[in-house]
Structure 1
Amino acid sequence: MSWWCSARGTPWDWSWQPYPGVWLCVLLLVAGYAASVRHAKRSGAPEDAHPWSFAAGVIAFWLAADWPVGPLGTGYLASVHTVQYIVFSMLVPPLLLYGLPTALFRSLAGNPWFAPLVQLLTRPLMAFVIFNTVLVATHLPAVVDGLKVTQVGAFAVDMAWLGAGLLFWWQVLGRVAELDPLPIPGRIVFVLLNVFIPTVPAAFLTFADYPIYAVYELAPRMSHLSAAEDQQLAGLIMKIVGGFTLFGTASVLFFRWYAKEEGEIF
């Protein structure tokens, strides 16, 4: 039994496979959420948790990491790999962050052990650098082919996506005033600056004349798509879905800012 999905090079079949590591992560997320809510209530902090948002984030994480999406993206289809990237970095993080009580973040920011690290990681420049470095690094052929073949490596890639996504979406949501969140115009600029770098790996995937990932090129085919066609689809998914997500986020922020400004004027 495998504890996490990894590329195995065996023919694909639709027989269910258990991945206990995924279930453990889900359990830890749920337990951590319950503990943070209890802590917030005991401290008398405002009840600003959003359980349905956190639950949606946990479910999205589980679906992207567990069978069948997990093994398909890890060792068979580059297009599913890209879907996993978008889910782990652009869907799950905002749902989790919005669902947690702000008392948790205030507690971390006020803890002398964690405060320096929190202040460092929540800086916009740090979030920008980490988010885009993880994006580019985890789509390099040497990294994909080297890490996806082991459970530890595949787990590290998934957690890197999630961690980088949490830092990115922290800047967008700006839920804790004590941590000096960006003003809404600053958040719009931050999101738009992150639109351009993803186009680089997306272009390589879409316009390459041959498969660039050995792990997907040599994988037994489980669909009518060739390895090159699957790779092109992966590039289109990253470009269209990823770009739509970022532009959509910037648009929502703009209209929120515009409505606020109009309300203050009139």
Structure 2
Amino acid sequence: MPISIFGFQALWSPYFLGAVVLITLFYFWVTTKWRGKFKDSEPLQKKEALLFVSGMALLYIIKGSPVDLLGHIMFTMHMVQMAFLLLLVPPLLIMGIPTWLWRWIIDLPVVRPLFLFFTKPMLALILFGLAFSFYHLPMVFDFVKQDIWLHTAMSTTLFIAAIFYWWPLVNKLEGMHKFHGLKKLGYLFALSVLMTPACALIIFSDSAFYQTYTDSAAWQQAMALCVPAGTLAQLTLSGPEMFSSMSLVEDQRTGGITMKILQELVFSVFIWLVFYEWLRNENENADEITAKVMQDRKDMAYHRHNG
């Protein structure tokens, strides 16, 4: 059965699209027209604008386009949403907002101490890993998916936790928590390890355990999060099997596998970028490093000779 039966609003979320467009326009207004009102502001770079627009476009695709509707029908698409929402959108937005604007945001009252606390690398890593695993516990997942306010609150919490996790990896502000060089690789690998148990539970389960995909009443309650009540009342639906050829167990397992694959792909890109940055810095500073090594050897020889 085609998902077009749910109507234009459910498919394309026009209100969410409007919000995304307004936020993007506000971003350009602040970073161009209002730039002079901020201390130490600099012209907006094309790279920053491209990263921010890419992040916002991707945010709309996964939370406002038919992908969001499919995420309520198929667990596989839900995990695709999670992968892009938590692993790609946050670093794109962090890198897309100029450092001078980030500095202004963080220096707001109350924000700075909270930001410095929650972006401590080990705390950010653990909180994000735990939040992701907690959300995907069947009891929690089914409870949250059947209430729009709980679902919004949980999605927002996960997204903020992802911002805190990515901050030490990609931010460029002085005085902020950040990793340099190959330490970034260990940080990325640590999250991969923390996310593995939840994904393994989903992949290797012998049964489909999310009621919002297996129980007709719970599923329709969850569908009300993205489909207008009037539209839903006019449809006679039994469950997600009407829209997918996969069994519920296959869908669940595919979702877990998809999440791990997308996570590894995203991390692989960032690992390559980290390694490339480290290699470039080593080459640029090769003469300085060589001179330091030679001086250290001379100092050691001098101390041995005069010792």
TM-score bracket for this pair, using the shorter chain length: 0.7 to 0.9
Counterpart amino acid of residue 248 in structure 1: V
Counterpart contact for 1:83–1:237, Cα < 8 Å: yes
Q: Which residue of 2 aligns with 1:220?
A: 240
Cα 1:211/1:12, change in 2 over 3 Å:
farther
SS at match of 1:181: coil
Calculate the TM-score normalised by the size of structure 2: 0.76
User: How far is the alpha carbon of 1:86 from its aligned partner?
Assistant: 0.7
Q: Which residue of 1 aligns with 2:280?
A: 259
Q: Which residue of 2 aligns with 1:186?
A: 183
Moved more, 55-64 or 113-122: 113-122
Does residue 1:14 correspond to 2:14, yes or no?
no
State the alpha-carbon separation in 1 of the partners of residues 95 and 16 from structure 2: 22
Cα 1:208/1:104, change in 2 over 3 Å:
same
User: How far is the alpha carbon of 1:105 from its aligned partner?
Assistant: 1.5
User: How far is the alpha carbon of 1:39 from its aligned partner?
Assistant: 4.4
Q: Which residue of 1 aligns with 2:262?
A: 241
State the alpha-carbon separation in 2 of the partners of residues 162 and 21 from structure 1: 20
User: How far is the alpha carbon of 1:23 from its aligned partner?
Assistant: 3.0
SS at match of 1:84: helix
User: How far is the alpha carbon of 1:65 from its aligned partner?
Assistant: 0.8
Cα 1:136/1:12, change in 2 over 3 Å:
farther
Does residue 1:127 correspond to 2:127, yes or no?
no
Counterpart contact for 1:192–1:247, Cα < 8 Å: no
SS at match of 2:42: coil
Q: 1:8-27, CA deviations, whole angstroms, 9 ceiling, x for partnerless residues?
A: xxx87313342355235414
Counterpart contact for 1:82–1:234, Cα < 8 Å: yes
Q: How does 1:30-179 map to 2 (within 5 A)?
A: 30-37=24-31, 38-43=33-38, 44-49=40-45, 50-73=48-71, 75-179=72-176
Counterpart contact for 2:94–2:167, Cα < 8 Å: yes
State the alpha-carbon separation in 2 of the partners of residues 144 and 24 from structure 1: 28
State the alpha-carbon separation in 2 of the partners of residues 46 and 184 from structure 1: 26
Counterpart amino acid of residue 63 in structure 1: I
User: How far is the alpha carbon of 1:154 from its aligned partner?
Assistant: 2.5
State the alpha-carbon separation in 2 of the partners of residues 149 and 32 from structure 1: 33
Q: Which residue of 1 aligns with 2:250?
A: 229
State the alpha-carbon separation in 2 of the partners of residues 147 and 101 from structure 1: 35
Counterpart contact for 2:62–2:81, Cα < 8 Å: yes
State the alpha-carbon separation in 2 of the partners of residues 36 and 187 from structure 1: 31
| Aligned residues: CA RMSD | 2.1
Counterpart contact for 2:79–2:255, Cα < 8 Å: yes
User: How far is the alpha carbon of 1:128 from its aligned partner?
Assistant: 0.7
Cα 1:151/1:197, change in 2 over 3 Å:
same
How many residues align? The count is: 255
- Bigger radius of gyration among the two: 2
SS at match of 1:179: coil
Counterpart amino acid of residue 24 in structure 2: V
Q: 1:51-84, CA deviations, whole angstroms, 9 ceiling, x for partnerless residues?
A: 11111111111111124111221x3111011001
> Identity of aligned pairs, percent?
24
Cα 1:36/1:200, change in 2 over 3 Å:
farther
Q: 1:108-166, CA deviations, whole angstroms, 9 ceiling, x for partnerless residues?
A: 33334322112112211221122112210111111111111222233223323321221
Structure 1 alignment gaps of length 5 or more: 1-10
SS at match of 1:47: coil
State the alpha-carbon separation in 2 of the partners of residues 209 and 12 from structure 1: 29
Moved more, 239-248 or 226-235: 239-248
